Amino acid sequence: MEPKAQFEKKLIAIEIELGFLRIPKEGVGFMASESGTVWLKFDEDKPVIQSTWNKKHQRIFGLTSFYKEKNAKPGDKVVVEFVSSRSGKTEFYKLDLIKTKPEDIKKEEITESEAEEIIDLSGLSSQAKGDIVEDRIKELVLLYGQGLLNVYKPTNDTEGIDLIVVKNGVYQPLFLQIKSNYKLHSGRNLLVQVGERTLHPHHTLFVVGAYFNPKELEINDKLAFIPSEVVYKEGQKVKLSGTTTGHRVTISLKDGSKAKFTEYLVKKTDFVNKLLEKFKEIERYYK
C-alpha cells in the first residue's frame, strides 16, 4: 500500500480568525501548480465543498466553518491529504483536524520562521518597509528623549541621511542612516549594508541597523548603533547590485555572542542614552 500524499500544519490564531490555512514548504508540492478552485472534504458523511487556492500566498481559503465546527484552537493540527485531480485542473483534498491534548497545551506562540511565512509583507515596497523602521526609530527618540531630543526627516534623502536628531541647546545635530532588515541572515545575523555613494564618514554620522521582527510586528530589542567611520574602515567591501559597491557589517544577535561588532549593539531602551552620550562628546569638542 502506497503511503498517503499528505502533510500537516500547526494552526495559529490568525489562521483560525480569518479562515485560511497557510501551506508549509513541505506541503506546497502537493498543491495545484496554479491558483484556482479546489475541492475539500471534511467528513465522510458530508459532501465536498468548493474553496480557493492562492499559490502566490500559499493559502487555502474558506475554512471558517470548518474551524468553527471543529472548535479549532491555536496549536491544533490540520492534516491535508491529496486525494485526486478532477479533469486535470481542479484539485481534491481531504482535511482533518487533530486536537491538541490538554496535557500538551501551552501558551502557543509562533516562531519567527512561522511568522515570516504567515505575515505577508510581499505587498510592501522597499521604501514602505524602510519607512516603517524609520518611524519606529523616531518614536524611540521622542519617547525616551522626554523633551530633550527632537528628530527630523530630510525632505530629500539623496545624501543617505534618514533622520536628523537635535538636542535642546546644542546646535550640532547627529545624523542617522537607518538600515532595516526584514529577515536575519543565517537566522541570527543582522546585515548592515551602506552604499559607497552615501557613506561619508564623519563623527556626527551613525548607521543604525534594525531587524523588524514579524513575530512581534515590531523592531527587535537590539539595535546596531555604529559610527560611520567604523562601517567605512572595518566593514567588508561588497558588491550590492550592478556596479554599486558598499560596505557591510555583519552582527550576531545571538545572546551572549562576542563576535565582531557586537559591541555596537544597544537595547532599544538604551538607544537614547547612547545618543545623549554622543551629544556630550560634541559639546566637549566644541568647547
231/261 Cα distance (integer angstroms): 10
83/156 Cα distance (integer angstroms): 57
CATH number at residue 147: 3.40.1350.10
Q: Along the chain (287 residues), what's the average pLDDT of each consecutive run of 10 residues?
A: 71 84 84 85 82 88 90 89 66 82 53 55 77 94 92 81 92 93 87 90 94 84 96 91 87 91 94 94 72
Indicate if 76 and 20 belong to the same structural domain.
yes
Indicate if 12 and 49 belong to the same structural domain.
yes
CATH number at residue 87: 2.40.330.10
Look at residue 87 and tell me if it is in a domain.
yes
Please write the tens of the pLDDT for every residue from 102-134.
655 454 455 555 555 555 566 678 888 889 999
Look at residue 152 and tell me if it is in a domain.
yes
276/146 Cα distance (integer angstroms): 12
Look at residue 120 and tell me if it is in a domain.
no
Please write the tens of the pLDDT for every residue from 11-59.
887 788 888 998 888 888 888 888 888 888 888 777 888 889 988 888 9
Look at residue 51 and tell me if it is in a domain.
yes
> How many domains does the chain fold into?
2
Q: Which of 109, 142, 170 is the last residue of a domain?
A: 109
Look at residue 93 and tell me if it is in a domain.
yes
Instruction: Domain of residue 186: give its range.
Output: 126-286
Indicate if 169 and 65 belong to the same structural domain.
no
Indicate if 72 and 160 belong to the same structural domain.
no
pLDDT of residue 36: 86
8 A C-beta contact, residue 247 and residue 231: yes
Q: How many helices (H) and strands (E) does the chain have?
A: 7, 17
Cβ partners under 8 Å of residue 231, min gap 6: 192, 194, 199, 201, 207, 247, 249
Q: Of 39, 22, 34, which Cα lies nearest the Cα of 94?
A: 39
**Residue tagged 548607521 (cell numbers):** 207
Indicate if 58 and 162 belong to the same structural domain.
no
8 A C-beta contact, residue 7 and residue 24: yes
Work out the number of other CB atoms within 10 angstroms of the CB of residue 82. Answer: 18
Indicate if 162 and 85 belong to the same structural domain.
no
pLDDT of residue 107: 46
Indicate if 158 and 78 belong to the same structural domain.
no
Look at residue 204 and tell me if it is in a domain.
yes
Q: Which of 109, 138, 162 is the last residue of a domain?
A: 109
Q: Which of 83, 109, 135 is the last residue of a domain?
A: 109
Indicate if 228 and 144 belong to the same structural domain.
yes
Bridge partners (DSSP) listed for residue 37: 52
Indicate if 135 and 243 belong to the same structural domain.
yes
pLDDT of residue 132: 92
